[in-house]
A = this chain, B = another copy of it.
Amino acid sequence: MKIAVLPGDGIGTEIVAEAVKVLKVLDLPFEMEEAKVGGAAYEAHGHPLPESTLALAKSADAILFGAVGDWKYDTLDRPLRPEQAILGLRKHLGLFANFRPALCYEQLTHASSLKPELVAGLDILIIRELTGDIYFGQPRGRRTAVDGHFPGAEEAFDTMRYSRPEIERIAHVAFQAARKRNKKVTSVDKANVLETFQFWKDVVTEVHKDYPDVELEHMYVDNAAMQLVRAPKKFDVVVTGNMFGDILSDEAAMLTGSIGMLPSASLNAENRGLYEPSHGSAPDIAGKGIANPLATILSAAMMLRFSLQQPEAADRIESAVRAVLAAGYRTVDIWSEGTQKVSTREMGDAVVAAI
């Protein structure tokens, strides 16, 4: 088995190094191969997703990804910007199912913006469709408006779209995930305004017939953004499209107060996947050795479970992370009075020791 290791930019290299250290200590039968991606790849090869990196990603059983992006690339033409790498990987590998758990660790409840009683024990799973919607829909571009409020004016446009099989497959993923959890799916749409999401709602409702043991609730996206703040624990599995999922999964992650702890997985139809922390490349703290590596280490655990058929190894990592939290080790983002402030590397070492 082969893992493609793509550290990327900013804190990406630092946090991925710790996850690699943790994987190595498990002594499992797979090789790891590293390649550049994002801004780092642009610097080295003139493209954020060079052919060689894409080829490695395609040949691997799983990808361990750090983060990409830096303000210094903001002025590049869009196809050359770091985030195109992640969009390209999703598209070329067909990574349509994005798992974004929003979990509140007992010891970190106080770090949330929300009152402790609203988030204590929070455990929701946001499943975001990742290869459709307005992210990839054609046509898109600039043109002269022929109708609308200002015919003749310059305008820009994009196409939102979902086909039946795209909705069906992500709905199946959501219902199956809910079966292993609290058996409730909230499908988020905007059926009152969008044709795409009326269709989404209709198809999810049809797929639900195969899962009578799972409760299905429909919610408008504006209401979902509110209910996440008001009573996040009412959710179990949330399934939605690419655009709404981008917004809601980040909102939910921030509710926990410890986005530095949250892993993610993006899977294709063969369960091959890309695993990355939910947070970004944080160029402001890059190179300082203070970033929290736990989201990346937990992403490696998801990778072992979902793509590499090593559930016991995954459990070992997750238990080790709980143990280091219980022992009071904290990187600065989750530090509070009475706990021990550690560096990125020290946190990685602590997890290794706990394993």
For A226, the closest partner residue in chain B by CB is B254
Q: Which of A187-243 contact B (CB under 8 A)?
A: 190, 192-200, 221-223, 225-226, 228-230, 243
Residue pair B230, A251 in contact (C-beta under 8 Å): no
A166 close to B (CB within 8 Å): yes
A161 close to B (CB within 8 Å): yes
How many angstroms between the C-alpha atoms of A193 and B161 in the bound complex? 15
How many angstroms between the C-alpha atoms of A142 and B160 in the bound complex? 12
Residue of A156, A161, A194 with most partner-chain B CB within 10 A: A156
For A148, the closest partner residue in chain B by CB is B163
A248 close to B (CB within 8 Å): yes
How many angstroms between the C-alpha atoms of A162 and B232 in the bound complex? 34
Minimum C-beta distance from A173 to chain B (A): 15
For A131, the closest partner residue in chain B by CB is B149
Query: Contacts A149-B132, A193-B135 given: A161-B165 contact, CB under 8 Å?
Result: no
Considering only CB atoms and an 8 Å cut-off, how many residues of chain A contact the other chain? 68
Provide the A157-197 mask, 1 if CB < 8 A to any CB of B, else 0.
Answer: 11111111110000000000000000000000010111111
Residue pair A195, B113 in contact (C-beta under 8 Å): no
Chain B residues, Cβ within 8 Å of A154? 163-164
Minimum C-beta distance from A222 to chain B (A): 4
Query: Contacts A78-B198, A166-B149 given: A247-B229 contact, CB under 8 Å?
Result: no
Interface residues of A (CB under 8 A from B): 78, 81, 83, 87, 94, 113-115, 118, 131-132, 134-138, 140-142, 145, 147-150, 153-166, 190, 192-200, 221-223, 225-226, 228-230, 243-244, 246-251, 253-255, 259
28 contacts between A and B (CB under 8 A): A94-B149, A113-B115, A114-B115, A131-B149, A134-B134, A134-B160, A135-B193, A138-B147, A142-B195, A142-B199, A145-B163, A148-B161, A150-B165, A153-B163, A154-B163, A155-B162, A156-B162, A156-B196, A158-B196, A160-B160, A190-B243, A221-B246, A223-B250, A225-B225, A225-B247, A226-B251, A226-B253, A226-B254
